Amino acid sequence: MAKKFMEEFHIEEKQANIPTVTDYEAFPNKVLLDELRTKIIQNLIDDNHSISGSMSDYVREEVDKTIEGYDLSNIERSYIYHLIDNEVNGYGPLSELLEEKEISEIMVNGTNEVYIELDGKIVKEEGVSFINDDHIVRTIQRMIQPIGRTIDAANPMVDARLQDGSRLNAVLPPLSLKGPILTIRKFKEDIANIDDFLRGGSLTPYMARFLEACVQAKLNIIITGGTGSGKTTLLNVLSSFIGNDERIITIEDAAELKLHQAHVVSLETRLTNYEGQGEVSIRDLVINSLRMRPDRIIVGEVRGKEAFDMLQAMNTGHSGSLTTMHANSPHDALNRLETMVLMAGMEIPVRAIREYIENAIDIVVQVSRLSDGKRKVTSICEVVGFENDEIELKEIFAFRQLGVTENHEVDGEFILYDYVPKVYETIKARGIETLKDIFEN
């Protein structure tokens, strides 16, 4: 981008290092630059000029006319052209944030309230702002227009997957009380693998080998955790352990899973149209997937009535199923499953539901984002049966926090309990001999 401006606007070679939007604090005339940007954009809108397509002669003339008479340095002039270029050819103030690979989430809470998640920590991005609420709405509309979605007063909420795979959620007034709200969970081109988890200290080699053996032995696994804890990322990693000779059906609200096996069928839900028709839910897709001869069913997230159909699949020969669920602990996850089955309207006694869950689920994996922003696998449990009419879980691996260091990093340790899990017999029966040194010493 810097070279482009240098050629078009004859900026001297020595000034080719043009600051970007995120270097905003480097400018002494920040207020003036903001005022000029606002004036140019507003003039284009007032003249009914579409701020999209290309840097036309008209747009260049408007920029030149607006900044004429101001004592701006070459680098400040280039910065103004850069901002307008982002409006014309990109996504306005968010253009550069969307290109930054290190940023995993972008959150717009208002015109001057833009936050990002960087290395697991949420920080305010001081150099990024919108001129008004309409500016935020125009940016949202620009992002969702290519995928055939819209947002306006009649449809004030949208949840969509962008063309690069990123997840966008936007809410407008009156649903939002403080103006348009935008949240973007960015898609990572380089999908994490188990080695990335190991290098980042998210789990131990023993835990990694155990989870790989569980997937290969076709055990049914639920990954639980809070928002942004890394459930889908771990689901992607575990899915990579599935053999290349299996037929895999993935079911998601917005396709985030990236499987590299040869035989993968990906299904995605559909929202209602303007007439309130045409919705296809997770439950519809789970039911349909049973007719598609799957070896594995992977559901991006279970959150409602589809839980019963998922459990039914696990209990009727579709072993090796994987899914995620929002829950604060493994016990909480099983309680939520019970509630979801009841939501499906099944006239089944609670004890029968618990038996159904106990028969279906083999392993529960809990992932957490700690106070220092790092994500860890904090518990791996197996479902072992009933005790006092309650589903009993037995922990195999765990992470225990001991405190916080002077650098505000979480200090803790991973634990391997002195316990041989019941699923180990199933794993050995499948001919998997990789866990002998862990459980037979």
Residue 112, domain CATH: 3.30.450.370
Nearest 10 degrees: CA dihedral of 154, 157, 162, 167? 180
Look at residue 47 in the predicted model and tell me its pLDDT: 65
286 vs 221: CA distance, rounded Å: 16
Q: Which of 230, 143, 228 is nearest to 180 (CA)?
A: 143
Q: Check whether residue 282 and residue 404 sit in a common domain.
A: yes
Task: Answer yes or no: do 80 and 101 share one domain.
Answer: no
Mean pLDDT for the chain overall: 84
Domain final residue, candidates 66, 89, 112:
89
Per-residue pLDDT, averaged over 390-412, amounts to 92
DSSP H helical segments within 241-344, as ranges?
A: 282-289, 306-315, 330-343
* Whether the predicted model's global pTM rises above the 0.85 cut: no
Cα–Cα dist 148/53, whole Å: 18
Asked if 238 and 230 touch (Cβ cutoff 8 Å), the reply is: no
pLDDT tens sequence across 356-385: 899 999 999 999 999 888 899 999 999 998
Residue 387's alpha-carbon distances to 202, 329, 331, 339, 359, in angstroms, are 32, 18, 13, 19, 14
pLDDT digits (tens, 9 = 90+) for 234-245: 999 999 999 999
Shared-domain flag, residues 112 and 29: no
In the predicted model, is pLDDT for residue 420 greater than 70?
yes
C-alpha–C-alpha distance, residues 318 and 310, integer Å: 9
Domain boundary among 58, 89, 120: 89
Phi, psi of 269 (to 5 degrees): -70, 165
Instruction: Say if residue 294 is in the same domain as residue 241.
Output: yes
Of the chain, the percentage scoring pLDDT greater than 90 comes to: 44
**DSSP states along 363-408:** EEEEEEE-TTS-EEEEEEEEEEEEETTEEEEEEEEEEEEEEE-TTS
Distance between CA atoms of 31 and 51, rounded to whole angstroms? 23
Which tokens hold the place of 19? Answer: 């600051």
Mean pLDDT to the nearest integer, 386-396: 89
Residues 279 and 416 reside in one and the same domain: yes
Shortest CA distance to 11 belongs to which of 19, 22, 3, 21?
3
Residues 350 and 222 in one domain: yes
pLDDT in tens, 41-99: 877 776 655 555 555 666 777 788 888 877 777 787 888 888 888 888 888 899 989 98
More confident: 345 or 354: 354
- 278 in the same domain as 256: yes
Judgement on whether residues 171 and 79 belong to the same structural domain of the protein: no
* Contacts within 8 Å (CB) and 24+ apart, 26-32: 27/76, 27/79, 29/72, 29/76, 32/70
88 within 8 A of 102, measured Cβ to Cβ: no
Looking up residue 376, the CATH number of its domain turns out to be 3.40.50.300
- The C-alpha atoms of residue 381 and residue 303 are separated, in whole angstroms, by 21
What is d(CA 170, CA 394) in angstroms, rounded to the nearest whole number?
Answer: 41
Contact 129, 111 (CB under 8 A): yes
pLDDT(331) > 60 = yes
Same domain, 202 and 160: no
Which range scores top for mean pLDDT: 164-168, 225-229, 270-274? 225-229
Tokens 């279970």 label which residue? 302
Last residue within a domain, chosen from 122, 157, 187: 187
Residue 216, domain extent: 194-439
The two tokens of residue 97 are: 């944030």
Strand partners, 122: 117
Residues 51 and 33: their CA atoms lie apart, in Å, by: 19
Distance CA 418, CA 438 (A): 10
pLDDT digits (tens, 9 = 90+) for 91-144: 889 998 998 888 989 999 999 999 999 877 889 988 788 988 999 999 999 999
- How far is it, in rounded angstroms, from Cα 383 to Cα 80? 60
**Structural domain total, the chain:** 3
- The verdict on 344 and 222 lying in the same domain is yes
Q: Does 12 have pLDDT greater than 60?
A: no
Do residues 249 and 294 touch, judged by C-beta distance below 8 A? yes
Which segment, 20-24, 237-241, 344-348, is predicted with the most confidence on average? 237-241
Q: Are residues 382 and 427 in the same domain?
A: yes
170 and 199 assigned to the same domain = no
